[in-house]
A and B are shown apart, each in its own frame.
Chain A
Amino acid sequence: MSTLTMVPPVVVLLALAIVVSRLPRRVGHAVGALVPALAVPWAVMVPEGAHLQTQFLGFDAVLLNVDPFSRLMGIIFGLIAAVAVLYSYASEADTTQTGFALSYVATSFGAVFAGDWLTLIFFWELMAVTSTLLVWHYGGKAVRAGFRYALLHGLGGTLLMAAILRHYVEVETFLFASVPGGPETAGITSGLAAALAAIGIGVNVGFIGLHAWLPDTYPRPHIAASVFLCVFTTKTGVYGMYRAFPNGHEAIAYMGGGMAIFGALFALFQNDMRRLLSYHIQSQVGYMVAGVGIGSSLAQAGAFAHVFNHILYKGLLFMTAGVVIYRTGTESLKKLGGLWREMPITAGAFSVAALSIAGFPGFNGFVSKGIIISGSHYTFSKGPLPLGEFYTLEWMLLLGGVGTFMSFIKFGYYAFFHGEYGSSVPDANRLQSVAMVSVAALCVIYGVYDAALFTILPFDVTSGAVVDHVYETYTIPHLIEGVVLAALGLIGFAVTKKPLSKLGRVPDVDRLYNPAVFYGSRSLVVGVTELYAAVDRAVVQATSVVTRTVTAPNDVLARLRNDDSLVHPMRAGIGLSILILAVFVTVALLALS
């Protein structure tokens, strides 16, 4: 066992979280950024295989399981955590919040390096707890949103737990298939377990209908907390989805396509910057879910490439939005404008991130989104509604791409380019700029040198022996596709700009189920309380009667007979006793003979 595999990363990071919350702000954040940064080389070098096999709650467990999937997650989680801690320091986050954030990072590491379902669900639930704490820490409106967040994730976690238990009943082990002693087939057993797992994980990845916590929660806490939040929960969800469905599932693939469109569409309606970005998490995670759902090695490599890239540009987007809020105090796009003059670095970083997320050639989103779309075309069925050469899932994903262009043109237009900003505001401070520029640089590097990305993917997409269809990023049709999407996005925005600006807040599903849950639980509580009170009254009444009869039977009997002279009406006298004895013996003898 090498030194790299002696302790699971979660232990180190949890200790770090505690240390950071106790240290002075500057030192704490320095240490807090350094250690996750060291996790990147650790994740690159740690040998593959199942380490730290142990017993957990009496079952076989693997606390450190390294394969290409978890390695990729470890690299990007460490990288973004380091940058986000730096950004937290620059954005005046206190050490307690960063401590919570690092515990959230730690539990995410625990989840993606788990080698069995039990460890995975354990850290999965802890992630929900730590992220809720991170949201709550900000106070104010974040508290109620945090409650809703915790409730939904508790529900999702429970469903996943049920799925895992059902799975355990079938295969009699919690271990993953790749781990020694694991079951023969990977993934969760089909049937009920699979359905439960899909819905449970679906909460985390934001399935349509289960996604409302995303735009509800992420805009509310501290701007640095949003950077952490946008990374870990949904991406760990994608990772979990892969573990549960290593061979994909058609329904999941189409759900991914739906999410891509739905998220982009609703993002278009938003004026709150972080709310808009949150819908885009759903949209982008839709691509990843589609990739996992397709199930081919090409699509899954694409999904994980997209996880990697998405974490970079979405982290960057939340950072730029955060800087705008930090400097202007305004969340709404309607009150902003012309900021590129005031904060050129932020505007530049935003542009890179926006082009990346939209998938414009030369940026990393173009690479990974391309792999998934290629997978949807070459390695997936045509589907029920093929449009010409475009397969069903393919055009869904492309349509989502158009929506993404539109909404980021909208974001950029209203925040940075449209009109003039009334007053003078400074640009991002130095450390914020360092954080943003370094991530922006990575977005471009991985976009241009796509081979750098390909080397860390679980499947080599450039080798025909590994994938069904060899992927090449920069081909003429693919470039045209990227540019056409951008053009369509531009036209679309120009056409819809006016109606969109008049649009108020568009209701999402949570408008429906928040009151439903509120009034439902309220009536349940009231009903239960009233019922309990009624039962309680009846029981107390009955009990007092019984108690009286039992503890003072003489009184009761005397009262029944209306005769106070009977002091001990139940006490047998001598004659009665003898009578009883005689009867008793007679009965006994009759019974015996």
Chain B
Amino acid sequence: MIEQIPVLLVVLPIVGGAVPLVASLVSDRAGWPVATLTLIGQVGLAGLLAWSVSTSGTVSYAVGGFAAPYGIELVVDGLSGAVALLVAVVSLGVLAYARQAGPHSGPFYGLYLLLVAGLTGMTVTGDVFNLYVFLEITGLAAYGLVASGRDASAAVAALKYLIIGTVGASLYLLGIGYLLAATGTLNMADLATKIGEMAAYDSTLVLTAFGLMIGGLTVKVALFPLHTWQPDAYANAPDTVSAFISALVSTVSAYALARLLFSVFTVEFLSAVPVARWALVGLACVSIIAGSALAVSQDSVQRMLAYSSVSQFGLVVAGFAIATPLAVVGATVHLLGHAVMKGGLFAATGIIERKTGATTVNGYAGMGSRVPLSAFSFAVLSLAMVGVPPAVGFVGKWYIVLGAVNAENWAVVAVLLASTLLTLAYFARLVERLYFAEATIHAEEPVPEDAPVTDGSGQAVSFGMIAVVVLAAVLAVALTAAVPELQAMLEDTLPPLLNQ
């Protein structure tokens, strides 16, 4: 039974996603309950799978009975199990937010579940081409979701996302072609042994494949300077979608990047071709600094949060690229923690905008008293993101820094420490505005005419929306307690990947 769970995890949301599409012919109201039921099942399955991985190790499943390396293999280890559970939980949580925040149409929930299927597929697959397929499913669903906003800017943002995302995915596909030419296989485990044997690590084929695949995924992760689609998409999409894709899409792409590094190219490749590691670490560092700098310069809070993601994913990729066990644990913790924190932050911005009309840093002034619970959660999440102990943001950064110190990569250590200051710079500004500044928008004033009304679902804020934000804030701290468990799970399944 356990071996089937990975495939069930992909099939369940696809099947569930078809129902609202059909049901929407009759009623628009069927979407949410169907999606909720599906995702509750998804969370149960993912939880079971993660528990199974943590107790009895890696789970693998050969799709259609065709054995690897020729058939498609689904492999779930500690890393993918944790990410699969994250995807399930976050998508269920965002659903609670979507109940009130909308959009309410049937096709929306269809796309929503399709995106869950794509993300889960990317997580559990053990095949590089299969990964591409799910990457495209994810992409298409995400483009559609971004476009579900009612105003024109959402459509433009979605188009930009589509074109850039597709080019990125194509580069990845091109890279797969080179790999296939070099080794004749697409299975990750098989590739890991054949790269190096059949084609030297520094052969042009392998290097080109590496460059194209990592480059393609970097677009999806949205590292600087390939992030240009991301702030537009995050800021112009409906709040539900912003919370969802900001929490998961880049996260799963970063997971895929890590998967390529450890399960396909392996750490030996990074050691044999130091320039590859240096390029990746350098890119990550540039992304950390540039993302933070861009975040500081934003007026719009959502855009600021989007640029913050550019910086935080730089951190995650740096951790993976350093590739010591400690740094990988840290990067994973930060990957998961960032998803919860960023999703919660976007959800909080949605609530604050609905209640007060505030969307800019200056508009947030004095809002601490107007929306006490959301503002407080926002502040907690911000501080967690900065890395104030005991929040999970601290643990992740701490491990990454320790890993960098162990690897004696002092430039990275310096950048990591500087990034904490930079993160503090833009989040402290917001928290200061929220609590210590004179309000610029007053309660009796009507919401400004030109305030972007993202979907016409009204300005009401439900209990579920606030609950999601508060829950995210609680998780941002509580997840720290789960870190030892996660660390044990990763250490059980990662050493074969890390070979160290």
Residues of A within 8 A of B (CB): 550-553, 571-574, 576-578, 580-581, 584-585, 588-589, 591-593
Contact = CB atoms under 8 A, between A and B. Distances in A.
B186 interface: no
Interface of B: 159-160, 163-164, 167-168, 171, 204, 207-208, 210-212, 214-215, 218-219, 225-226, 228-229, 232, 273, 275-276, 279, 293, 296-297, 299
A577 B160 contact: yes
B342 to A, nearest CB: 21
26 contacts: A550-B293, A550-B296, A550-B297, A551-B299, A552-B299, A553-B297, A572-B228, A574-B163, A577-B160, A577-B163, A577-B229, A580-B225, A581-B164, A581-B168, A581-B171, A584-B218, A584-B225, A585-B171, A585-B212, A588-B211, A588-B214, A592-B207, A592-B211, A592-B273, A592-B275, A592-B276
Given A577-B226, A592-B279, A593-B208, 8 more contacts: A552-B299, A572-B228, A574-B159, A577-B160, A577-B164, A577-B229, A578-B164, A589-B207
A206 B310 CA distance: 68
B279 A581 contact: no
Contacts of B276: 592
A589 B211 contact: yes
Contacts of B168: 581
Nearest to B204: A593
A116 B278 CA distance: 57
A426 B214 CA distance: 105
A573 B232 CA distance: 10
B297 A551 contact: yes
Nearest to A577: B228
Nearest to B212: A585
A588 B214 CA distance: 10
Contacts of B212: 585, 589
Given A550-B297, A592-B279, A585 B211 contact: yes
A396 B212 CA distance: 95
A580 B224 CA distance: 10
A576 B159 CA distance: 14
B151 to A, nearest CB: 16
A146 to B, nearest CB: 42
A592 B228 contact: no
Nearest to B208: A589
Contacts of B229: 577
A573 B228 CA distance: 8
B160 to A, nearest CB: 5
10 nearest interchain CB pairs? Answer: A577-B228, A572-B228, A589-B211, A592-B207, A585-B215, A588-B211, A574-B160, A593-B207, A592-B211, A550-B297
Contact of B226 (A550, A551, A553, A580): A580
Nearest to B276: A592
Nearest to B296: A550
Contacts of A578: 163-164, 167
Contact of B228 (A550, A552, A576): A576
A552 B298 CA distance: 7
B296 A588 contact: no
A405 B159 CA distance: 107
B226 A591 contact: no
Given A550-B297, A577-B164, A588 B226 contact: no
Contacts of B208: 589, 592-593
B213 to A, nearest CB: 11
Nearest to B218: A584
A459 B269 CA distance: 83
Contacts of B163: 574, 577-578
Contacts of B215: 581, 584-585, 588
A572 to B, nearest CB: 4
A493 B164 CA distance: 107
Contacts, number: 67
A545 B382 CA distance: 27
Contacts of A550: 293, 296-297
A549 to B, nearest CB: 8
Nearest to A592: B207
A574 B279 contact: no
A159 B117 CA distance: 75
Given A580-B225, A580-B226, A551 B219 contact: no
Contact of A581 (B210, B226, B293, B299): B226
Nearest to B298: A551
Nearest to A551: B297
A430 to B, nearest CB: 68
Contacts of A592: 207-208, 210-211, 273, 275-276, 279
Contacts of B299: 551-552
Nearest to B168: A581
A582 to B, nearest CB: 8
A572 B232 CA distance: 10
B484 to A, nearest CB: 34
A107 to B, nearest CB: 43
A580 B219 CA distance: 11
Contacts of B219: 581
Nearest to B171: A585
A427 B211 CA distance: 106
A424 B296 CA distance: 85
Contacts of B279: 588, 591-592
Contacts of B293: 550
Contacts of A574: 159-160, 163-164
A585 B204 CA distance: 15
A571 B207 CA distance: 32
Contacts of A591: 275, 279
A550 B296 CA distance: 7
B131 to A, nearest CB: 19
A552 B160 CA distance: 24
B228 A580 contact: yes
A593 B226 CA distance: 21
Contacts of A573: 160
B314 to A, nearest CB: 15
A581 B170 CA distance: 12
A584 B214 CA distance: 11
Contacts of A581: 164, 167-168, 171, 215, 219, 226
Contacts of A571: 228, 232
A571 B279 CA distance: 25
Contacts of A576: 228
Nearest to B174: A585
A499 to B, nearest CB: 74
Contacts of A551: 296-297, 299
A592 B210 CA distance: 9
A577 B225 CA distance: 9
A588 B297 CA distance: 28
Given A550-B297, A578-B164, A592-B210, A584 B204 contact: no
B474 to A, nearest CB: 32
B279 to A, nearest CB: 6
Central interface residue in A551, A571, A574, A580, by most chain B CB within 10 Å? A574
Contacts of B159: 574
B130 to A, nearest CB: 23
Nearest to A580: B225
Contacts of A584: 215, 218, 225-226
A591 B278 CA distance: 11
A584 B212 CA distance: 10
B294 to A, nearest CB: 9
A490 B226 CA distance: 102
A573 to B, nearest CB: 8
Contacts of B214: 588
A258 B229 CA distance: 86
Contacts of B167: 578, 581
B347 to A, nearest CB: 25
Central interface residue in B159, B208, B215, by most chain A CB within 10 Å? B215
A552 B361 CA distance: 12
Contacts of A580: 225-226, 228
A593 B273 CA distance: 10
A593 B299 CA distance: 41
A131 B45 CA distance: 78
